[in-house]
Amino acid sequence: MDDKSTPIENLNNKVDDTEVVNKLLSKYNNLQDNYQTIPQMEENFEKRNLNEEIYNLNSNNIAYNEHHKKEMQRINNSNQYNDEQYEDDEESEYEVIEIPLWKRIVNEIKIPFFIFIFILVFFNCTFDKYLLNKVPILGNKYNECNTYGFLLKAFLIALLSYLCIRFIRI
């Protein structure tokens, strides 16, 4: 060991505590006396290369080296597996199903079309007369549908439109 640091054995030695304390005090006094060396020591401390020190510490550690090798093998194996998986994905390209233009147009138009057809069916005079003959409470004295009749027809339109849209596939 160098003469600037106190060995741990000396600090743990219970027999000669005064000697250890005296050595520490003498080193402290020497630092105080040579206060010009303190900036140089601070500069050396700031300039030290921690990465290199840690590497040197770890490179001498056999257990660390074995663990490091195992981890590198595990990482390489997982990367190799992922590369093979991506290669398989590239080989099996996804098949894109193109829907013809007329079919896309019909799919977009069918909802308003079914609603329009059912409005024509339920809001004509013939249906009003039939409905008011069967359920007179849905009309007024002029044989026109009141609010209840209108709500019933709107509900029927919504229900039948939903069923047609849901179950008629184009």
What does the pLDDT look like over 60-112, one tens digit per residue? Answer: 677 777 887 888 888 888 877 665 555 555 555 667 788 889 888 888 888 88
- Name the average pLDDT for the chain: 78
Top-confidence residue, 140 or 93: 140
Comparing 90-94, 118-122, 154-158, which segment has the lowest mean pLDDT? 90-94
Predicted local distance difference test score (pLDDT) of residue 25: 79
What integer pLDDT is reported at residue 38 of this predicted model? 72
What mean pLDDT do residues 20-34 have? 75
More confident call, 6 vs 147: 147
Residue 27 has pLDDT above 80, yes or no: no
Q: What is the 3-state secondary structure (H, E, C) of the chain?
A: CCCCCCCHHHHHCCCCHHHHHHHHHHHHHHHHHCCCHHHHHHHHHHHCCHHHHHHHHHHCCHHHHHHHHHHHHHHHHHHHHHHHHHHHHHHCCCCCCCCCHHHHHHHHHHHHHHHHHHHHHHCCHHHHHHHHHHCHHHECCCCCECHHHHHHHHHHHHHHHHHHHHHCCC
| Nearest CA-CA partner of 143 in 131, 153, 154 | 131
Backbone torsions φ then ψ of 6, nearest 5 degrees? -95, 125
Which tokens is 53 given? 């020190």
pLDDT digits (tens, 9 = 90+) for 3-26: 556 555 555 555 556 777 788 778
Count the neighbouring beta carbons within 10 Å of the beta carbon of residue 135. Answer: 12
d(CA 1, CA 71): 34
| Percent over 70 (pLDDT), the chain | 75
pLDDT at position 85, please? Answer: 57
How many CB atoms are located within 10 Å of the residue 125 CB? Answer: 9
pTM above 0.85, yes or no: no
Residue with tokens 């339109």: 157
Range with lowest mean pLDDT among 26-35, 117-126, 150-159: 26-35
Domains in the chain: boundaries: 1-48, 60-96, 101-167
Higher pLDDT, 57 or 88: 57
The predicted pLDDT at position 151 comes to: 93
Q: What is the mean pLDDT of residues 136-151?
A: 89
